[in-house]
Amino acid sequence: MKKQKILSVVIPSYNAAPFLMETIPTLVSISSRNDIEVLIVNDGSKDETLQVAQKLEKEYSGIVSIIDKENGGHGSTINAGIREAKGKYFKVVDADDWVDSENFEKLVQFLHKTDADEIISPYTDVFEDDGTKVENNYFKDCSLKPYQDYDYVNFLERIQILPRMHSITIKTSILRDNNIKIDENMFYVDMEYIVFPTPFIKTITYTPDSVYQYRRGYEGQSTSIQNYIKNRKMVNHVTFALLDFYNKHTLSNILEKLVKETIARCVTIMTNVCLSMEDTKQGKKELLDFDQKLKSINSEFYYHKQGKKAKVLRYSNYFLFDLLSSYSKKSKKV
């Protein structure tokens, strides 16, 4: 009888041929590589992603395998991974990112010792232009101890943030048994992956070392302002998917607060995207439509969960839209 893998690492891959030969070795170079499976999900790539993945599958037989599918967006690759994963735990590593192998090994070894629903680890932003590294660590300013199980709600009350996707390792059964499904054919679904499982998580622990290395600032990244503008309908959709989740679930006080903050962040992004559009008239129309829908579905987010720009726009009855739009185009920030 085959021993169950302790961890499934899903690698969403679209036109990722230049990255896979860098990313996969950081995962499989650990001594406990046979305890993990690496699922490269080829999302209908038009480059050599499939061929590179096949080479890696052959080289790391029994560890690396391929899910080859039609293009369906980032969410569809996560959904495919959830369906196929055989590991007790589940982690997503995008094809253009990588892991710190030494710290990843520590994480894998710890997974054998824990039964927590979710494990959180710090992650590092790595900036392409100058190689600067910035560690994102939720635990520096609190008295939580690593490798200890905590009640999920109490843990969130201590760190006061929903951990980002790059930090998360979660039980596969939580995703599968609760039918967690991420929206397909769109970007920016990381927030759905972060939020949707939260009502079902009971216990959590953390490891102190940065595992995920998040590549920042390269051309074509989906979080650039131009790509936000290009894909603004997706930002709109994800915002209301999160709002629908919020309206349907009864959450603990801290979880309610943190989900509200997540939705408010999406609202701020949408506001900045509309302000940054070259066609100012169209940007104003789309923001008005967005705000009216927001107000009709949950007025709390319209009146109380708003950024500074949204507040100024609403109090001025959008009279100051052109002025703020000019400023946003110069700043080029979301």
- Render pLDDT for 113-122 as a digit per residue (tens, 0 to 9): 999 999 999 9
Q: Cα 255 to the chain's mean position, in Å?
A: 17
Q: Give the pLDDT score at 333.
A: 62
The model's pLDDT over 298-325, given as tens digits with 9 standing for 90+, comes to 888 887 656 788 888 888 888 999 998 9
State the pLDDT at residue 142.
75
Q: Is 17 strand, coil or helix?
A: helix
CA angle 118, 104, 145 (to 5 degrees): 50
Length reported for the chain: 334
* Residue from 133, 136, 111 nearest 209 by CA: 136
Instruction: Give me 155's structure tokens.
Output: 């843990």
Smallest CA-to-CA distance from 183 within 93, 273, 270, 79 is with 79
pLDDT at 77: 98
Give the angle 150-120-74 at the CA atoms, nearest 5°: 135
Render pLDDT for 126-151 as a digit per residue (tens, 0 to 9): 998 888 999 999 877 678 999 999 99
Beta bridge partners of 9: 38, 91
pLDDT digits (tens, 9 = 90+) for 42-75: 999 999 999 999 999 999 999 999 999 999 999 9
CB 73 within 8 A of CB 1: no
Q: Tell me, what's the pLDDT at 218?
A: 62
Q: Looking at residue 1, what is its pLDDT?
A: 60
pLDDT for the residue 258: 96
Q: What tens digit of pLDDT does each residue of 178-199 get?
A: 999 999 998 889 999 999 999 9
Q: Does residue 248 come out as left (phi exceeding 0), alpha (psi in the -120 to 50 range) or beta?
A: alpha
Q: Does 158 score more than 80 pLDDT?
A: yes
Tokens of 48: 């050599």
Amino acid 24: pLDDT: 98
pLDDT at res. 334: 57
Instruction: Taking residues 155-162, report their average pLDDT.
Output: 94
pLDDT surpassing 60 at residue 222: no
The strand ranges marked E within the chain are 7-13, 36-43, 64-69, 89-92, 98-99, 118-120, 123-127, 133-136, 150-151, 168-171, 203-206, 212-216
Task: Name 10's bridge partners.
Answer: 39, 92
Smallest CA-to-CA distance from 87 within 164, 195, 3 is with 3
| CA atoms 66, 72, 74, 79: torsion sign | negative
pLDDT, averaged across the chain = 93
